[in-house]
Structure 1
């Protein structure tokens, strides 16, 4: 019986590799993978395997479904127009993103399979070119002197052939690290050939995108080669422009006659129409079918030539302007998120010292950059081939990148680590906290502040040092614990936190050969049965550091770790689970305590709040920041409750500060 995981590998290879051979191959493979992902989601198969869902993938998922949501609302506002419905049918494919992620992650598809699939894109480009020459009985000159489109729209073919070729070159560079000489040669030759063939399409956006795609290769090469790249990249681009008859004639006409060619003049006209639609309806746009109806009405009124009906009714030949015209400002936002969220996530991993991760990140950046520049002269997300390729490429590269990241933490730490924990009445948490700390710590130090439950008794069973002291405040108490540490590195934990196995493997891997002097550990706040990935719960507090020269501030609450200047700080990916409170009653109690301590701390520093307007505004600003700016809404109902709680704490803190200054004013009067 065929292993389902192997079947998923095959579907990905067939889907991406056959995209330019037939859009049906791409669509069919994508749909089959998505259906498999839906089945796996229903069975919770991936979670049963212990999958730690990366929050970055959740953010990517949001960018895809938000685009679909905006399109649906635009279609609904225009009255469910037939033309708009056809466009929505194309955009709706993006809702398959998460099922694709589930299927690809379940199959543990990594860099090798992903790059093999990408390499087949270049193979198909070369194959299409050779078949075309053979069909014309070897008339190479005839093929070279016409816009080559491989049997489909030359723009679509040229853009995807260029992207596939450049991605294949990234694959070749990956196989250099894998020391697979034969594959390096094949992939490099194939990728270069695909790039050259793509230029035969005479697609101008290719020449605009080419330098940026080449720049995306720079992080993958050594420092000397990077300097050489500053010379080579402009030379390659200049050569591509000179050898492009269409681009050369366009530039000559612009420079000598001051006129653009007819193609660009038409685009400028439709772009102007799109901008007018945005001005007329900035918040809703003209509707998904509104652009088509506008062009048709303008032609009927004699304001536009009739040939606009043949070239320009479906979209505005620019992704940004097309979304602006049809969906207004929300459409602009949805397009920006769809391009720049993937670009940011991939870009953050370009500097990874794990070769597979860095190369996949470069490939992901190329996809987003390519679509950004292709979208300058084409509405790529209104064409099914473009859209489906983006969907499968981003989901496969992102899933493979995080699979590779998870598998890359294999080294054992070579530095002694002391874990420090302060406690008071934490018998519900202390055992699990200490067991998780032992995954990364050689020494565990617990300072208790007079617990009246079994905290100290339980701590002595697992910790190396347990002492009972008074309570001077968070900062001073953590400094006392730090002074007892003997390890070169210190991990400062709270009793309600846990080091996850994934984070433990990552810490141990990094401390085999530290690449920084301190590390921030991302929180995973867990309350009411939900893990929060966003809002303030998505913060990454500094918890792991080289002990020498480090101290804690003496703050009563919200103490800071004081790192000497000049030291390097990095953020790890693994999660520090934070069980912030037991129930809602505990949440109210803890929030009130922290708010009042915050008031006292600010009062101690001489801060003042003169009116109650300020606490109110700060509370509202906190809610907006946590719920909207930091994507807290992605955490559902619990995310909303958390945002309100943070806003209340902020209000109480500054209202408390206002009250602390009242007696002094009364005495003066």
Structure 2
């Protein structure tokens, strides 16, 4: 992807830093910066600048986009079902900010935001936390006693200030580790000092959820320290937590009351009652909830009926717990939307916590920290019903996510030092074979093609690009691929099908890894391309094993769906780059190929002694395949082509087991 102009990059950097750095000073600064960044992203998207520059849109970013949009859509449906309630409309207005997520991703990707920029922006939040405290000290003429007497909120809600100051401080500390790894010790020392100070200031808010979140946030720092120091860190974290609890007057009083009198502190007691009300509301309306304004009206009605005291009128806006609040207002879809919003980013970032590429590893820690922090904060607060909380979460995830995949793409810099043989088996593949072999040459020193009697120009075309081309009989997929493997001389083997392509991004990644392999075999994620669309999910959710160290490896002798047999004890990893798979030329070819594979699958299972007694089993297996491809693997995100693909694979599964059932029928009739 080509670089952007320095001016446009600087504008995006300035807006990101203004938004994050000024968030606790004025939520309007964050809102304005977010809107301007989103508008710039919309302009880039409209002009298709990124795609024209060759951007290979990561499917992980699409999955993040789904999480944010799904949350908003569930809220919109909930508001509609309750009859467009006024109070619910205000909540929907807050949730509507999530529609800006993809424009933000586009803006940050276009500006090529990297790890250093993200961590400097987080550091500005720590600077603002310190500045807020200093300004209050100056205004009070150094009277620290007055400041310490009350919960410090920096001019906003103490809970919001405490939670976000802690998160900003911890992200700044992660940035300190990043700059230390980047051999910029002075910057690293400054960030660690600022982050630690901001985290300490956050404790002045006396926010209990801070103490709940603190050990989990500290644990996430462990991947960033050396292995020798990790054990020390595990002992240090409990000591830090005990110190934080014992120095918190509010927490100490709560614990004393619980131990001495067996009573919860009044605030916690009220929260438990609120949670009970929200749980009851969900149980009464489990499928769709009571509506975005339903919880508010429920509390107001309970107070009016004398079931709750008037003090609960302060808690009408939300249930002080993200999960219960979404369950009460939006039912099961609300629970699902909250789960996606928290855990999809957590899982995607968490996968790279121990990345060998330092910028990616530090960004992964930061991204995971944001999700874990919001999970903990949401135990006692409805964070996603507060515009400041919600907007910060969106900006953090968008900035860190965009920077992470930009860094990963830029990390493939090494030159391959192992020899590679590419093996391809063919029959009547003249439409595909040239492009397949050209892409294979990006990573292969030797290309071997075994053809099984093509009647078109496949063999002639293959001889233009391959080193070895032979025509053989057709013994089945497994045996034919084994024959090709036996002709390979490279240290590593890349086994391709004729309708597959190695993308330039994947080629760079393979060459990078084969400079110093960290595994004995690699899976290459599919990107099925069909009917003019590249599928990122559904059937593309698979990552077939394609690249492996040659020694000791063989193919199974299966007629279809052969397996690569890797000796036990060898390590297998999955790469990020996409293996483009042009699985069908058109719908007619799809039907033809599907029928062929289904029947070969029936024969293979019959050969192994498998059997199907009734037609119920093929039907159930077909339905299960559809559910797996379309829902579990998020095939619905691939649109109408994703639906057609799910139905096609469900039909293949049904046909395979129905065919197996028919193979038993003649024998029964003879008996």
TM-score over 0.5 (shorter chain): yes
Aligned equivalents of 2:111, 2:565: Cα separation in 1: 44
Aligned to 1:211: 215
Aligned to 2:563: 560
Q: Describe how 1:194-343 pairs up with structure 2 within 5 A.
A: 194-309=198-313, 311-343=314-346
Decide which of 357, 360, 363 is 1:357's aligned counterpart: 360
Aligned equivalents of 1:653, 1:619: Cα separation in 2: 9
Q: Describe how 1:453-602 pairs up with structure 2 within 5 A.
A: 453-602=456-605
Aligned equivalents of 1:270, 1:538: Cα separation in 2: 41
SS of residue in 1 equivalent to 2:205: coil
The 10-residue stretch of structure 1 (641-650 or 609-618) with the greater mean CA deviation from structure 2: 609-618
| Unmatched tracts of structure 2, length 5 or more | none
SS of residue in 2 equivalent to 1:661: helix
Aligned to 1:192: 196
Aligned to 2:620: 617
1:178 aligns with 2:186: no
Decide which of 142, 163, 169 is 1:165's aligned counterpart: 169
Aligned to 2:101: 97
Shift of 1:2: 7.5
Aligned to 2:414: 411
Asked if the contact 2:22–2:29 (Cα under 8 Å) also holds between the matched residues in 1, the reply is: yes
Shift of 1:256: 1.1
Aligned equivalents of 1:148, 1:607: Cα separation in 2: 69
Aligned equivalents of 1:6, 1:477: Cα separation in 2: 56
Asked if the contact 2:87–2:293 (Cα under 8 Å) also holds between the matched residues in 1, the reply is: yes
Aligned to 1:86: 90
Decide which of 34, 41, 54 is 2:38's aligned counterpart: 34
| Unmatched tracts of structure 1, length 5 or more | none
Per-residue Cα deviation, 1:9-68 (whole angstroms, up to 9, x for no partner)? 111111111111110011110011111111111111111111100000111111100000
Asked if the contact 2:528–2:539 (Cα under 8 Å) also holds between the matched residues in 1, the reply is: no
What's the TM-score, normalizing by structure 1?
Answer: 0.99
SS of residue in 2 equivalent to 1:46: helix
SS of residue in 2 equivalent to 1:200: helix
Aligned to 1:135: 139
Asked if the contact 2:424–2:449 (Cα under 8 Å) also holds between the matched residues in 1, the reply is: yes
Shift of 1:227: 0.6
1:447 aligns with 2:455: no
Aligned equivalents of 1:387, 1:183: Cα separation in 2: 30
Per-residue Cα deviation, 1:140-161 (whole angstroms, up to 9, x for no partner)? 2221232110000000000000
Per-residue Cα deviation, 1:536-590 (whole angstroms, up to 9, x for no partner)? 2221000000011100000000000000111000000000000001000000000
1:638 aligns with 2:641: yes
Which aligned segments of 4 or more residues in structure 1 are displaced greater than 2 angstroms? none
Per-residue Cα deviation, 1:427-449 (whole angstroms, up to 9, x for no partner)? 11111000100000011111111
Kindly tell me the number of residue pairs found equivalent between the two proteins.
Answer: 667
1:107 aligns with 2:111: yes
Aligned equivalents of 1:165, 1:145: Cα separation in 2: 23
| TM-align CA RMSD | 0.8
Aligned equivalents of 2:482, 2:16: Cα separation in 1: 53
Per-residue Cα deviation, 1:175-208 (whole angstroms, up to 9, x for no partner)? 0111001101100000000000000000000000
SS of residue in 2 equivalent to 1:421: strand
SS of residue in 1 equivalent to 2:364: helix
Aligned equivalents of 2:316, 2:240: Cα separation in 1: 36
What's the TM-score, normalizing by structure 2?
Answer: 0.99
SS of residue in 2 equivalent to 1:640: helix
SS of residue in 2 equivalent to 1:420: strand
